[in-house]
Amino acid sequence: MPRNKYPEITEKRILDTATKLFLEKGWEETTIQDIVDDLGDLTRGAFYHHFKSKEDIIDAVLNQLATENDPFKEAKKISGLNGLEKLRMAFLLSFENIGQVEAVKTISHILNNPKLIAKQLQECVHSGAPDILAFIEEGVIDGSISVQYPKQTSETYMLLTNIWLSPIIFSVDTEEYLLKAKHLQELFNSIGLPVIDDQILATLEKFHKAISI
C-alpha cells in the first residue's frame, strides 16, 4: 500500500465521518467499524494510525465541534461591547447554538468516562480559561468587571459552567438546574463578575428543556 501523502486530509475525513455517525446513531452506539465502513476506502489499521481508541476519536470530535462553534471568536467580532458584555455574549452564543444542543443530546452517558472527564477538566483550564481571562482583563480595564484575581476567576468560571453546570455530567431536572444557575449568579456577583443576568437564566432554562426532550 502506498504511503499516505496527506495524513491531515485522512484525519479530517475520519473526524467528519465520525461526527456524522455520532450525531445520527449516538456516541455509544457508533463503533469504530461503523466509521471505517462508512468511509469505504480505509482499513481499521489505517484508522488506528490516526486515533488509538474510540475515546481518542470522541475527544477529537468534541474538540472539533468546539472549534467550529467558538463563541469567544464570535463575541470578539461584535463591536461596541465592553469586557462584561463580551463575556455575556459568549455565554449566550454557547448555550443558544443549535448544533451544540443536538450534540449534547446524543452524548448520553459518554462523559461519565473518567478519562474523558479528566480531559474535559484539563481543556477547561488550559484551552478555555485564557479566552475568559482576556474578557475579564478587558472588563477590569473598562470598569465593567471588578474581580480581584482574574486568572483564578477565569479558571473557576470555566470549570463551574462547563463541568458543574453540565446537564450531561450532573443530570438534574430543569428546576434544580435553574437553582444551580442562580447559585452561580450569586457567586459570580459576589466577586465582581455579574455575568449571569435574566437573559442568560432564560437561555439556560430553554437549553436544559431542549436537551431533555
pLDDT the model gives residue 2: 45
Q: In which residue ranges of the chain is CATH 1.10.357.10 found?
A: 69-211
* One-letter amino acid for residue 179 of the chain: L
pTM of the model: 0.74
Q: In which residue ranges of the chain is CATH 1.10.10.60 found?
A: 7-53
CATH superfamily of 69-211: Tetracycline Repressor, domain 2 (1.10.357.10)
The CATH class, in words, for 7-53 is mainly alpha
* pLDDT tens profile 12-53: 899 999 988 887 887 778 899 999 999 988 889 989 999 998
The radius of gyration of the chain from alpha carbons, rounded to an integer in Å, stands at 19
Q: In the chain, what's the furthest Cα-to-Cα distance?
A: 63
The three cell numbers locating residue 204: 439556560
Give me the residue label for grid cell 463591536: 79
Say how far apart CA 140 and CA 147 lie, in whole Å.
Answer: 7
Q: Place 100 in a pLDDT band, splitting at 50, 70 and 90.
A: low
